[in-house]
Amino acid sequence: METIKGYDYDSPSLEQSPVTMEQLDLLKKTLLWTPEDDAYLKMAGEVLQDQTGDILDLWYGYVGSHSHLLHYFAKEEQPDMNYLAAVRARFEKWVLDICNRPYDQTWLNYQHEIAKRHHSTKKNVTDGANAVPIIHYRYLVAFIYPITSTIRNFLTNKNKPQEDIDCMMNAWFKAITLTVILWTEPYIREGEF
């Protein structure tokens, strides 16, 4: 089994998320989450399993073609290539985790860890990166759209019925929105999240 640097999904050393399971359940209710969404995310995971490299090629091409986004992997405009590679390996795994992992306390704790790695709390620490110290809040939220819209073509690659593709897209959109909400927690003043 391949070890991915910094992929600490079920590590007992992870801090417990300040977001409770009850709050997670209420967020899912707010997103109109259903058991069908869980089933369609699992289906999406099966469809995307062998396409994660291509997905990341597309996403990294997008980031790399926009200097204001590449900026977050750089210091003094020089991208840290080791940092980009380390994040990519975890990002590929994240695609499958979104689809296949139960959204339990372990999942919630790891989302909190990812949140801190975007925020000044822990940005650059995991990889010893030489890059700017924070990803600004606005880009976390803005990424909901490209990370959602670009997945459709990959979901169509396995000749699933259109209804299944639409339902997988809907579940993916909810999952990305939920994840980004959780990732923004460190940016919000205490008591306001």
Cross-strand partners of 78: 75
Class for domain 21-187, per CATH?
mainly alpha
pLDDT at residue 76 is higher than 90: no
Q: Is residue 70 a contact partner of residue 81, using CB atoms and an 8 Å limit?
A: no
185-191: average pLDDT: 96
Mean pLDDT, the chain, as a whole number? 97
* Residue 63 burial (CB count, 10 A): 19
132-140: average pLDDT: 98
E strand or H helix that includes residue 167: helix 162-183
pLDDT at residue 178 is higher than 80: yes
pLDDT at residue 189 is higher than 70: yes
80-89: average pLDDT: 96
104-123: average pLDDT: 98
2-22: average pLDDT: 95
82-88: average pLDDT: 96
33-42: average pLDDT: 98
Q: 1: pLDDT confidence band, cut at 50, 70 and 90? A: low
Pairing of strands 74-75, 78-79: antiparallel
82-109: average pLDDT: 97
- Rounded to an integer, what distance in angstroms lies between the CA atom of residue 191 and that of residue 172? 29
What pLDDT is recorded for position 2? 74
